[in-house]
Amino acid sequence: MSTDCNHANHGYSSNKDAHLKRLRRIEGQVRGVQRMIDEDQYCIDILTQVAAINKALHAVSLGLLEEHISHCVVGAARESEATGDPEILQAKVQEASAAISRLMKS
């Protein structure tokens, strides 16, 4: 593992509070949709809210991804250079790419 990417030192660590705040807001939005359904609100209005939650989750993903690239992937690049083993970087890039692919499809 890269020294930039071990426990308690992930890319996102410095923005932890911001991420948690966003996720608590999203949790509230999910509860809001439950209330809308419970109160028999109009389907389209509920769908609008669900789309807003998806957007908010995408914003969280992008933030995590950005930090992951600038810390973990870049750290792996550094390690690949230091050790002469290109596969350390390659593995990290492929892992990030698979994560992006899952987010695109979700």
**Distance in angstroms (rounded) separating the CA atoms of residues 82 and 75:** 11
88 binds its own copies (CB under 8 A): no
Structural contact between residues 71 and 13, judged by C-beta atoms closer than 8 angstroms: no
Site residue total, its own copies (CB under 8 A)? 67
Beta-carbon contacts of 53 under 8 Å, excluding residues fewer than 6 positions away, are: 26, 29, 30, 33
Q: Measured from the CB of residue 69, what is the shortest distance to its own copies in angstroms?
A: 5
**Distance in angstroms (rounded) separating the CA atoms of residues 32 and 13:** 29
87 binds its own copies (CB under 8 A): no
- Provide the mask over 64-83, with x wherever binding to its own copies is found by CB under 8 A and - wherever it is not: xxxxxxx-xxx--xx--x--
* Interacting residue with its own copies among 2, 3, 8, 82 (CB under 8 A): 8
91 binds its own copies (CB under 8 A): no
